[in-house]
Structure 1
Amino acid sequence: MSDRPEKPGVTVREVMDQDLAAIHAIYDHHVRHGLGSFEEVPPTLEEMTRRCTATREAGLPYLVATLEDEVVGYAYAGFFHPRSAYRFCLEDSVYVSHAAHGRGVGSALLSELLTRCEAGPWRQMIALVGDSDNQGSIALHRRFGFTHQGVIEACGFKFGRWVDAVIMQRALNEGDTTLPDAGQLQTPG
């Protein structure tokens, strides 16, 4: 799993400290103008840096996509829920700059994120897609084998309206067809 071009011009690689300002700008735009995130106030650069560090310290992938050496998107995996029984279940997050939509950036990011997650012990990946009308994100996840699991209706309120969350899921590795290795079965803590 080396850093490699995913589509002509799109390269996906591990995040570096110098990428965080671009990541912050991409997320700031999504928070202020989109429904993919249910945050209403963009976090500071310091908070985004803290979140990135925590993800990486947990041993989870945090990736950026570049076009001509410019960061145009990012993706990471986080634990779906902090309770120990969820330790084999991840949630993905994929954000693409407004200017790079439709250029294969989301596909390149999600493809590499799934590859890296399947190199670990995890068995399920959840996508919580903000807004039932977010057809781009729903289609992206569907292309990579995610299936529709349900909709939590009107669970968010943003931009003066109620917003749904679409739940999608994809097995990683053997999914639920086998048990994790014996060493992974012990409850942490």
Structure 2
Amino acid sequence: MRTVDVRAAKERAQELVFGRWSSADWAFNFDGLLVSAQAANRQRQAYTQLFRSGAVELFSAGHEFSTQHGPRAVGGLYVTDDVRNAIRVGLQAARSVGAAGGTLVSASVSGVDGLLFSLGTITDLTASYRADRDQLALNEQWIENTGEVNLDTVARPILDVLWQSFGLESCLCYNDVGQFDPQARFR
């Protein structure tokens, strides 16, 4: 069984950062290398765990917000961006450590029961949808070769299921030709 040299990976720890991290810390642990970040208010947390086997786990929390007089919500565009970036970083990490063969990519979103999926700004919840359960285990995508796959070929089906879980037909962050372009629809 091939193992990843986590000491060498530490030198490239910044490549394991995804989302809106302003800074990151790293630590060796039993599983391998952990790269993590936590916002000053402790409400946003994220980490990337690079396992010695070459597997990669990415986690992000803290997308929930509430307005002064409004309902609790989750920023749909923020969650979408984080899931897509996590997939991107995971694929890049697999390539950089020389992971060969097939790769299974999956995502889940937890703690969203009753939250609105906001498609507007934090104060504009006029176009929002609710999840029908607390734990969303999104569909898995099998990749034959991580070196040859297009990010959105993997991410779009997962993001479509995310948005469908909140009652929308598909992820609205893709334009008419299938390119990820959230600014095209949400300006």
TM category, shorter? 0.3 to 0.5
TM-score scaled by length of structure 2 = 0.32
Q: Which has the higher helix share?
A: 1
TM-score scaled by length of structure 1 = 0.32
Which structure has more relative contact order (CA 8 Å, sep 6+)? It is: 1
